[in-house]
Amino acid sequence: MIERAALPRQSLSPLARIARHAALLSIAVFALLPFVWMISTSLKPPSEILSSEVRFWPSEFYGAENFRAAFTAAPLARYLLNGVIVTSAIFTLQVLIALPAAYALAKLRFWGRDIVFGAVLFCLLIPYHAVAVPLFVFFYYLGILNSYAALVMPFTISVFGIFLMRQFFMTVPDDLVDAARMDGISEFGIVWRVMLPTAVPALTAFGIFSVVAHWNDYFWPLIAVSDQTYFTPPLGVVAFRNDEAGSNYGPLMAAATIIILPLVVAFLVAQKRFVEGITFTGMK
Amino acid sequence: MATHQSITSMPFDTIGRPVLTSGWRRALKRTLSAYALSIPAIVLMVIMLIAPLVSVFILALTDYQLGAPTFEFIGLRNFKALLGDSVFWTSLGNTLLYAALVVPGSVTLGLGAALLIESGVGLRSFYRAVFFLPVMATLIAMAIVWEFMLHPTFGIANLTLVSFGLRPQNWLQDGQLALPTLAVIGIWQQFGFNMVLFLAGLVTIPKHLYEAAALDGVPNAWERFRLVIWPMLGPVTLFVVVISAIRALQVFDTVQALTKGGPNKATEVLLYTMYAEGFEFFRTGYASAVTVVFIVLVLALTLAKTFILEKRVHYA
């Protein structure tokens, strides 16, 4: 929908066209400068990084050394692996738990349904930082701080996922469900064999939202784990910065580049889906 | 309403059993399946969201410290202590000031970017992607990049100032500059998100309004903006302002990584206060009281947002 022309597409005068690009480019410089400077620094030798001259392209290419140092000076590969484990576990569990509930709320009648849906709407209002203190105490007594479980468990329930999928399932015709029942498919089977295939677009948007949110999350991992074994990429890059006492900027910028790379590449490949996924779900 | 899809619409008996019995059994079976399907979600919702939320309000009334064998209910003493705690007031003030800088900054820049993109045809998707990049990129990693750019001696910010003959600044260690500097990072991160919401809003403005404006002799782009676009974007703008405010109130990553609330509490913000009290000093009861204040602020804005969204949906 964003593709459509919103403003009247009268052709601008050449002067106006130049002014438009000039204004947009200056905003683009603001948006891009940190990325450009990060990459540029990750390719420079220490002597050039600490020089008092602003240069974007290194005169001596030092990228290989910096990126190698990023992987050897800190367990960066481990952090990345943890990030993959945690984000994929969260998303998988969110789907496994939210989809059946969303189907029940949309298509089945049972006592207490309105109460459950009311609770979902209520939980949508709870800011995610608000429950950190009691969850921390709870996990402390369970003895599961410093584990993958601590990183994943609070997010296994996505009330937003339930709400989103329930709204989507409401638009699926009842006939489709009835036909499946007539074919002898159980309610459980209907969720995965009938509803899931219709829900792929909504689920993709939700998946992008979930993965981006949890790959980038710093607040909860910071609280939940202190053992480096379980560090996610955001914790890892901060630990790296602290260990190097802010002197080894080449490898540090290389590490930052690597950590943002997976999402940035995915974004550039599937721009429209990402923008949709993050904004439409980010409005929650 | 589709919610009233009823179990009685289904007693289609194909194998010749009495319809009533079959319908009953199916109904019962379906009710049981409904519970089976939603029980995991219900249980987790209670454990991970509702019980913790209730606990925050209860803990706020206690002197509980993590690991302590006992605790006592102390009524509203935590809240009284908050009122007398200058750090809390600084923290609340800084949070609101941060929001007061980031909201107008990111909304104006987002609107400007959206209007500029839509006013022409060249390179639209390029600009859109570039402006959205900061929204996507891991904030904490980019915060560390910003820290390096703002380094007092060899950061690009100061090198640029010096090359123009200006005085270098101590961006993150200067009590006057630290919070505005973090606000600039906040604006940088948020404006692309706002831009996308504005782009979506611009699309909903009916074309004939522009045509009517042109026929009525609206002279230039500015007048067209003032007379047509701005009034039509009113609800979207309100929505974007509230959403940006909610996000600004939740500022934490940049503070924790770059300033730790300093220098001298100049960047102490609510979530950082809560984090320090709860997870560094383990004063759980006190941290819960701070959380209650945070919840009230965010909830007020969230309700406002829901209200706007409902209204918008109804008029759509």
Per-residue pLDDT of chain A (284 residues; tens, 9 = 90+): 334 444 555 567 888 888 889 999 999 999 999 999 999 999 988 888 877 777 788 888 887 888 988 888 888 999 999 999 999 999 999 999 999 999 999 988 888 889 999 999 999 888 889 999 999 999 998 999 999 999 999 999 999 999 989 988 988 888 888 888 888 888 888 889 889 998 888 898 889 889 999 999 999 999 999 999 999 999 999 998 888 755 688 889 999 999 999 999 999 888 888 887 777 655 54
Nearest Cα of chain B lies from the Cα of A163 at a distance, in angstroms, of: 12
Asked if residue A54 and residue A103 are part of one domain, the reply reads no
Range of the domain at A37: 14-72
Cβ contact A129–B38 (<8 Å)? no
Neighbour count for residue A198 (Cβ, 10 Å) = 15
Of B31, B156, B200, the CB nearest to A110: B31
Torsion angles phi and psi, residue A252, rounded to 5 = -65, -45
Residue with tokens 């904490």: B140
Residue of B nearest to A171 (CA): B2
Residue B75 lies inside a defined structural domain of this protein: no
Asked if residue B126 and residue B48 are part of one domain, the reply reads no
CA angle (B253, A269, A82) in 5-degree steps: 45
- Please say whether the beta carbons of A233 and A212 come within 8 A: no
Asked if residue B154 and residue B102 are part of one domain, the reply reads yes
Residue of B nearest to A174 (CA): B5
In whole angstroms, give the CA distance from residue A5 to residue B171.
41
Asked if residue A227 and residue A108 are part of one domain, the reply reads yes
First to last CA, chain A: 20
- Please say whether the beta carbons of B40 and A97 come within 8 A: yes
Cβ contact B298–A237 (<8 Å)? no
From chain B, pick out residues whose CB is under 8 angstroms from the CB of A35. 133, 137, 145
Asked if residue B176 and residue B52 are part of one domain, the reply reads no
Cβ contact A135–B52 (<8 Å)? yes
Cβ contact B243–A110 (<8 Å)? no
Cβ contact A157–B45 (<8 Å)? yes
β-partners of residue B62 are B73
Asked if residue A94 and residue A204 are part of one domain, the reply reads yes
Q: Find all residues with CB under 8 Å of A269, minimum gap 6, and list them.
A: none
pLDDT along chain B (316 residues), means of 10: 42 50 73 89 94 93 85 87 90 95 96 90 88 93 93 86 86 91 96 91 80 77 79 85 91 93 90 92 90 92 80 50
Q: Render B215-247 in DSSP notation, one character per residue.
A: HTT--SHHHHIIIIIHHHHHHHHHHHHHHHHHH
Of A126, A133, A181, the CB nearest to B278: A133
Cβ contact A7–B127 (<8 Å)? no
Query: Of A115, A125, A89, A93, which Cα lies nearest the Cα of B304?
Result: A125
From chain B, pick out residues whose CB is under 8 angstroms from the CB of A157. 41, 44-45, 48-49
In whole angstroms, give the CA distance from residue A167 to residue B188.
33
ipTM of predicted assembly, 2 dp: 0.88
Neighbour count for residue B31 (Cβ, 10 Å) = 17
Kindly report whether the peptide bond that precedes residue B263 is cis, defined as omega within 30 degrees of 0. Answer: yes
Range of the domain at B10: 2-59
- pTM of the predicted protein model: 0.87
Cβ contact A222–B2 (<8 Å)? no
β-partners of residue B73 are B62
Residue A2 lies inside a defined structural domain of this protein: no
Letter string b/e over residues B109-142, b meaning 16 or more CB atoms within 10 A of that residue's CB: bbbbbbbbbbbbeebbeebbbbbbbbbbbbbbbb
Asked if residue B120 and residue B217 are part of one domain, the reply reads yes
What tokens appear for B57 in the block?
């309000």
From chain B, pick out residues whose CB is under 8 angstroms from the CB of A182. 12, 14
SS (H, E, C) B7-72: HHHCCCCCCCCCHHHHHHHHHHHHHHHHHHHHHHHHHHHHHHHHHHHHHHHHHCCECCCCCCCCCC
Residue B221 lies inside a defined structural domain of this protein: yes
Asked if residue A97 and residue A61 are part of one domain, the reply reads no
Asked if residue B161 and residue B101 are part of one domain, the reply reads yes
Number of structural domains (chain A) is 2
pLDDT, one tens digit per residue, over A175-195 is 888 888 888 888 888 889 889
Residue of A nearest to B48 (CA): A154
What tokens appear for A200 in the block?
């792929």
Residue A85 lies inside a defined structural domain of this protein: yes
Question: Distance of CA A147 to CAs A118, A227, B275, Å?
Answer: 33, 9, 20
Number of CB pairs, chain A paired with chain B, less than 8 A apart: 319
In whole angstroms, give the CA distance from residue A217 to residue A15.
44
From chain B, pick out residues whose CB is under 8 angstroms from the CB of A234. 138, 140-141, 253
Number of structural domains (chain B) is 2
Of A97, A111, A283, the CB nearest to B41: A97
From chain B, pick out residues whose CB is under 8 angstroms from the CB of A249. 148
Torsion angles phi and psi, residue B34, rounded to 5 = -60, -45
CATH number for the domain that contains residue B165: 1.10.3720.10
